[in-house]
Chains A and B, each alone.
Chain A
Amino acid sequence: MLIPCPHCGTRPVEEFTFLGDAAPTRPTTNDPSTMEAWYEYVYLRNNPRGAIEEYAHHSGGCRSWLVVSRNTETHEVFGAVPARDFTRAKGAKA
C-alpha cells in the first residue's frame, strides 16, 4: 500500500505507523461532568468497513503525523493531509 505523504511524496506503508480513526476530538474541558466524553475519546474508535480517516505517523520518514483517508474494504487510498491541518480544520468547523 502506498501513502501519499504531503511532505515526502508517495511512500510504502512500511514507513508509517497507524493510530486509528481520527474523527474523535479531544475534549477541551476538564469538568468532571464531561467524563463520558473523555471516556469515548480515549477508548472508543470506529473500525468501519469502507471510508475512514486515520491517523498515520510517518515514523520512517519525515516524522509528521498525517490523516490518511482510505477505504478499508478496497484498500484504496484517497489522500493524506498533515494532522495539524486536519485538527485546525476541525476546530474551524466546530
Chain B
Amino acid sequence: MTSYRLDKGGLIDRSTALRFTFDGALHVGHQGDTLASALLANGVTLMGRSFKYHRPRSVITAGAAEPNALVELREGGRKEANTRATMIELYDGLVSKSQNNWPSLDFDVGALTSLASSVFVAGFYYKTFMWPKSFWEKIYEPIIRRAAGLGTASKLPDPDKYEKSYAHCDVLVIGSGPTGLMAALAAARQAKRVILADESSRLGGSLLNEQEEIGGTSGYEWTQGVIAELGSMPNVTLLPRTTIMGWFDGNIFGAVERVSDHLRVPDPYEPRQRYWKIHAKRAVLAAGAEERPVAFGGNDMPGVMTASAMRTYANRYAAAAGRSVVVFGGNDSIYRTARDLKSHGIHVEAIVDSRKESKADAAGTPVLRGALVADAVGGKAVKSVHLADGTHINCEAVAMSGGFSPIVNLACHRGKKPVWDAKLLAFLPPDNGEAFTVAGSAASRMLLSECLADGAAKGAVDGKPITVPKCRDEAFAISPLWWVKESHGKAFIDYQNDATAKDLPLAAREGYSDVELAKRYTTTGMATDQGKLGNINAIAILAEATGRTMDEVGTTTFRPFYTPVSFGAFTGPFTGHHFQPVRKTPLHDWAEEQGAVFVETGLWMRSSWFPREGEDWLASASREVLNTRGAVGICDVSTLGKIDVQGKDAGQFLDRLYCNTFSTLAVGKARYGLMLREDGIVYDDGTTSRLAEDHYVMTTTTANAAKVMAQMEFAHQALFPDLDVTYVSVTEQWAQMAVAGPKSRPTLQKLMDELVMTDESVPYMAALEVSIMGGIPARLFRLSFSGEHAYELAVPADYGSMVARAVMQAGDEFGITPYGVEALSIMRIEKGHVAGGELNGTTTAGDLGMGKMVSAKKDFIGRMMAQREGLTDPNRQAVVGIRPVNPADRIRAGAHLLKQDDTPSMKNDQGYVTGVAWSPMLDMWVGLALFANGRARHGEIVQVWDGLRGHRVMAEICDPMHFDKENKRLHA
C-alpha cells in the first residue's frame, strides 16, 4: 500500500491537489487536510526525532496537545520552529522540515544516546555536568543544546504584519463542539453579544471528528445548521482559528487568531496573526477533554496514537494510521474506535481491554478482556504488540486510551486548582463563579446528550432555555489505566521532553516527591505542550510511588498560555517605526529646511545642531554659539512643558508646588521656580509667568513635563482639594522659539504689530501677550537660558514654521543662525545654569546654589524634609564650575574628583563632573561638577580622574559661571 488515504469520506475536498514538501520530498494532499493528516495519508509516519533520545516519532494526537510531530514550517523570514503538524492547515506550496535530527531524519546519529540511555535518566545532566563549574556555560551547555534543540529560529526579520484588537461581549464561548455550539446558540438567541472562538480551522469541535447523530441527522450536518444560524446573527462573532490562550483578572481573555497561517503568504494588507484582548461579562469554557495515552513500552513508536486521534484521522481526514490496528484501553471509548475504524474498512486485530468486563458493543471485533499491551514492537513503525501475558499480535498501528482529562487549563489560570474526581478519574475544574463556567466534557460530562444540555444551560443562565436536540449516546465507563509495569521498553509520560514512567518513582526516591519538584526534576510537563497529555499520568504514578491519593499529590500550576504564542502576536504593530510614537515640534518643518540634525529627547525629535558643509557636530555647535553670542540666534524650545494654571487660588497652588513664591508675582512678569519632591530633593525647574490675576502659565523641563503634570494633579486632587484652581497642558498649542543674542531685540522688533521693544516696555523677566505679523496672537517673554539678551516668542503652533521663517528673514541683516540643543547646552554650561545633569534626583536647592530661594514663610511640597540634617549638611556636594589647569586638557563628564595627592577610592571621592562643553568663547573645555562643600572651595586644584577611560587631568574648582560673570550681556 503506497497510500493510507481512505477511498471515501472525510471533510476533505478531493477535487483539490495541494502540493507540499516535507524534508524536501514532494507530496500531495487536499483542502481540509492538516499537515499531519496529509503526511499520514501519504504513508509518511516518521515526522520527527525526540528531544533527548532522538527516537523516531510520529503524531500521537490530532490536535493542539501534540507533543511529537513538531516541524519547522515555511522558510526564510517566515520560518517558524516547533509548529504542531496537527494544527497546520495544508496549503499549496507548504514547505516543512523535520527537527532535531542529524544528518537526516531517517538516520540520526543522536539516536545512539538511546542505546546508552540507562545513564541518561532524569537528573543526568544536572549530576554529570556539575564539575568543573566553569565548564558549564562554555562547553557542556552548548553541546547539550545542540544535541537536544527543538528546531531553529529564523534570523531574518519576519516580513508579515501582526495586529492587536480589543473585543467586548456578554458571553464568550470557548470551544465550538456540541457544548460550545449549544452555549453560543442559547446566549445568542437571548440577544446577548456572543463571541464563539475555537482553535481549529473549522467550527464544530468533536462533531467534525466523530460519527454522531443529533436531531435525526449526522453530528456534522447538525453543526452546519447551528453555525449557519449563528453566522446570520449580528450579535454573534465567530472566531475560528482562534486560541483563547489565557484568562486574566477582570474576566479578560487573551486570544490569538491565526488569520493567515493557513496561507502560503498572507493576503495583501492582512496580518498573519491578530492578538485579541476580549473583555467578557461572562465566559463558558467548552474546551472538551484530552484523551490520555497509556504508559507502555514503545508507546511513542510511529503508529501508536490516542484512540480519538486515530478516529479523527479516519473520520475527518480519511487517513488511516495503519492497515491493521490493535485498540487498547481501560474505558469504553476503545469500542467505538474499533467500530469507526471498521466502518472505514480498516482491519482491527483486537480490542485489548484492561478491564475484566464491559457492556460496550465490540461489533464483532475480538476482545481480549483483562489484557494489557506491554510493548509495541518495531522501530520506525509498529510491526506488532506484545501483551503482558505473552500474546503477540501483528499490527501496523495501536490506538490507546487511558481515559479523558477535562481541558481545565483556562479555568485555573487565575490561581484555583482543579479537584480530583475518583469516580470519573479526572481533575474537574474549580468553581470560579458565574462569570466563568465550564461546560460539557471540560466539566467531565461524558455523554453527548449531557454536553448538549449543559451547553444550553450554561449559555443562557437566565431567560428562556432553548430546546436541546435528541441524540444518540455512547455508553461510557472507565477503570484506572496509567502504566503497564510489565513493559520492557521505555514507557513515555512526557513525549516532548522524553520523560518516562520510571523517572517519576526515581524522583520520589531521590526526595523530589512534591509534584512541583518532580516536574522540574524529571522535566515532565515542562515542554512547549506543558504536559497536556502526560501530566495526569505522571501524577498517578507519583501518587502510587509515594502512597498518596491523586488529590494529595495535586496538579502543578496552570499558567497562561494554553498553547505557545508567537512574539509577533504580542508585539502586534508596535515594531519598527511604530515601536513608540514620534513627537514632532511645530517648528520641525522649519528646522528640516535649515538642515537640522535631530536627536530623540523622550519621544520628541529636537533639532540638535544645524551643520553647514564640512562641519561636524562640534564645529557646528561652536559656530552656532559664536554666532548667537556675537549677533543673534534662534532655537526651537517648543518641547518645554507649558501648563495653563487658572483660578482664584492659582497663585496659592503654585506656592504649594514650588519652594519659592508665585502669589506675589506681578501680572506681566515671569519668575524662575524650583520644585521639590516631598522628600526635599529638587524635582524640576522652569519659569512661570503671570498673564492675569487668575492666570499663570508655567513651564517645565522637556523631560519632566508629563511627570510634573501628574504631580500637580496629585497635589490638587489628593492633597489640597479645596483650592479653586484648574490646570491643563498647553504644550502643543504653542510653537516657542528662543531668540538670543545682542541683535535679538532689533530682529524681533520687525515682527511686532504695535509693541515698541525697549528695556522699559519689555524689561528682563517680562511676560507679555502681543500681536505680531499683522494680528497673530503671540506671547513674548524676556528670558535667557544662554545668558544673552534674549527672548522667547510663543505663537499658535500652526503658524510656527511661518513665524520662524519670518524671524530668520528679520534677522538676516544681522547674520542670524538657527541653533540646536547642543549649542544651547554649551551656553548653559558657560553660564553655569543647571539642567538634567545637576537636577538628577540627588540634589537639594542648596546643592544647586539656590538655597536662598527656599521660602520659610509658607507650606510647600518638600519643605519639611528639605530641612533634615543630611540635606542641610555643609559638606554635601554642591554645584561648582570646573576648568582644566592646562587649557589644552579635556575634562570628561562622569569623571570623579579627588584631592591633588589622593589615590582613587570611594573614601577619597570628592564628587564628579556632571556636564562639560567645549566653550568657543573661552577656547577650552569647561564643566560643572558636584563637589563636596564646593562653594567654599573655589580655587582649589583637584584631580579629575576618569577611571573608565583611563584619563587623569588637573583642574581648578571655580564659580559655576564661567562666562560673563557680571551678567552684563543679559541686560545689554
Residues of A whose CB lies within 8 Å of any CB of B are 1-2, 12-13, 17, 19, 22, 26-27, 30, 32, 34-35, 38-39, 41-43, 55, 57, 59, 63-65, 75, 77, 82-84, 86-88
Contact = CB atoms under 8 A, between A and B. Distances in A.
Contact of B249 (A1, A39, A57): A1
Contacts of A82: 717
Nearest 4 interchain pairs by C-beta: A2-B250, A1-B249, A83-B718, A84-B721
A42 B865 contact: yes
21 contacts: A2-B250, A2-B251, A12-B250, A22-B718, A26-B719, A30-B859, A30-B863, A34-B864, A35-B868, A38-B864, A39-B865, A41-B678, A57-B714, A59-B710, A64-B717, A77-B250, A83-B717, A83-B718, A86-B718, A87-B721, A88-B721
Given A12-B250, A30-B859, A55 B865 contact: no
B414 interface: yes
Interface in B904-928: none
Contacts of A35: 864, 868
A31 to B, nearest CB: 9
B250 A87 contact: no
Contacts of B867: 32
Contacts of A55: 714, 718
Contact of B714 (A34, A43, A65): A65
Contacts of A88: 721-722
Given A2-B279, A13-B249, A75-B249, 19 more contacts: A1-B252, A2-B249, A2-B250, A2-B252, A12-B250, A12-B277, A17-B710, A19-B714, A26-B719, A30-B863, A32-B867, A35-B868, A63-B709, A65-B713, A65-B717, A65-B718, A77-B250, A83-B721, A86-B718
Contacts of B719: 26, 87
A44 to B, nearest CB: 12
B717 A84 contact: yes
Most buried by A among B709, B710, B719, B721: B721
A34 B865 CA distance: 11
Contact of A84 (B718, B859, B864): B718
Contacts of A63: 709-710, 713
A55 B867 CA distance: 27
B475 to A, nearest CB: 42
B639 to A, nearest CB: 20
Contacts of A86: 718
Nearest to B710: A57
A75 B713 CA distance: 27
Contacts of A43: 679
B252 A12 contact: yes
Interface string B701-737: 0000000011001100111011000000000000000
Given A1-B249, A65-B713, A87 B868 contact: no
A7 B828 CA distance: 44
Given A26-B719, A38-B865, A88-B721, A57 B713 contact: yes
A57 B279 CA distance: 22
Contacts of A57: 710, 713-714
Nearest to A76: B249
Contacts of A87: 717-719, 721
Contacts of B679: 42-43
Interface in B244-299: 248-252, 277, 279
Nearest to A26: B719
Contacts of B248: 1
B436 to A, nearest CB: 14
A20 to B, nearest CB: 12
A80 B717 CA distance: 14
Contacts of A34: 864
Nearest to B709: A63
A72 to B, nearest CB: 12
A88 B717 CA distance: 10
B6 to A, nearest CB: 49
A59 B250 CA distance: 19
